[in-house]
Amino acid sequence: MTQQVYNFGAGPAMLPLEVMQQIREEWLDYRGMGVSVIEISHRCEQFDEIITSTQKLFRELTGLPDNYRILFMHGGARMQFAAVPMNLAGRVTSRKALYCETGNFAKIAAKDAAPFAAVKTIISGADSGYTSIPALSSELIEQDAAYLHLTSNNTLYGTRWNNFPDGGDVPLIADMTSELLSRQIDFSKFGLVFAGLQKNLGPSGMAMVIVRDDLLEHAGPQVPILMNYQQCARDNSLTNTTNTFAIYAIRLVLEWQKKQGGIAAIEQRNLRKSALLYALLDESDFYTGVAHPDHRSTMNVTFRLPTEALEDRFVAQAEADGLYALAGHRSVGGIRASIYNPMPEAGVQKLVDFMRNFMRTQG
């Protein structure tokens, strides 16, 4: 019997144990077919059932309005950094696109968009080291812009938008990679939402894209077929061979979410989990939270210890205790506990106990 390891990695991240067990059980024989789910055609009836029921289940769980499409696209979240401007800024690369620079991924998104749109960064958290989300006043949202891009949860810094701006006529685009399905979202506020799968949804390498019907029509002829939203919607994400395994895995994750009581129940659990850690950060002088209390993420909890040497020791000892991958992103350092939907409360409690003990013995 091996020791239970809790995986706090930021992504690819842990999947629910029940999901992985089910994958193992049906790996060699997908529901009586005698072949594996990764060996069947993406155009066969059984796979059609997988993709259709995945979309249906997502709608059921999120209450996604009917005028939004659910697409599965190649290239993870980052491919969307280019696909969004290519599709939405239209044929004119001088079309303005607004960006909220609240962290590393927002910055990369703006950079990747620059060849395809006139990128304008309207707020930046750089001065605070991205530890909070700067206020966004409505006059900054120029109404002739093609869209406004924001990162709803900033994975490296552990901050999130609690309330989303009203874009007026400007469609709101959100990169929800590190938090989709972790809290209830009113999708009708957004023109498009995308998420790389590897944090809350499944394996890496693909993205889920939720797009409002009227935004499908702006792509110019230069947009590559596999990045064209309208083409993807028309082909129900099967323009070419998709990552069938990834979509199968998403369905299992969604079924697991439903069994957990749906998004409202998961959201409450995520609040409880993150509150355990934030309470300790607030009461101790040894640990210092990175994110401003008003913008704390429930998915990525970031903190510092008094010295880098202590942080290194913390990470090594935690790992020896079965608490895996707690080092912060290489560009920011410190400690980051990624506690996505599948992380059980017991895992967070074990981390809190470890932190108290470490503080007592090393502090």
Ligand X SMILES: *Cc1c(COP(=O)(O)O)cnc(C)c1O
Q: What does the binding site for ligand X look like in residue numbers (CB under 6 A)?
A: 11, 76-78, 105, 151, 155, 175, 177-178, 196
Distance, CA of 241 to CA of 7 (rounded, Å) = 31
Q: What's the min distance (Å) between Cβ of 313 and ligand X?
A: 27
Compare residues 75 and 134 and give the one whose CB is closer to ligand X. Answer: 75
- Residue number with CB closer to ligand X (103 or 167): 103
User: How is 5-33 classified by DSSP, letter by letter?
Assistant: -EE--SSS----HHHHHHHHHHSSSSTTS
Pairing mode, strands 206-212 and 68-74:
antiparallel
Closer residue to ligand X in complex, CB, 131/155: 155
Q: How many CB atoms lie under 10 A from the CB of residue 19? A: 21
Alpha carbons 22 and 52: distance in angstroms, whole number: 20
Give 146's contacts (C-beta < 8 A, 6+ positions apart).
Answer: 85, 88, 89, 90, 95, 96, 97, 117, 170, 171, 218
Radius of gyration of the chain (CA): 21
**Of residues 125 and 196, the one with the C-beta less far from ligand X:** 196
Q: How many CB atoms lie within 10 A of CB 216?
A: 20
CB of 51 to ligand X, least distance (A): 20
**What whole-number distance in Å separates Cα of residue 362 and Cα of residue 307?**
11
Nearest distance in Å: CB 196, ligand X: 3
- The residue number with the shortest CB distance to ligand X is 76
Nearer to ligand X, 101 or 287 (CB): 101
Nearest residue (CB) to ligand X, 269 versus 336: 336
For the bound state, the minimum distance from the C-beta of residue 288 to ligand X, rounded and expressed in Å, comes to: 23
Q: How far is the CB of 200 from ligand X (least distance, A)?
A: 10
Closest distance to ligand X from the beta carbon of 274 (Å): 16
- The conformation of residue 285, written as its DSSP 8-state character, comes to S
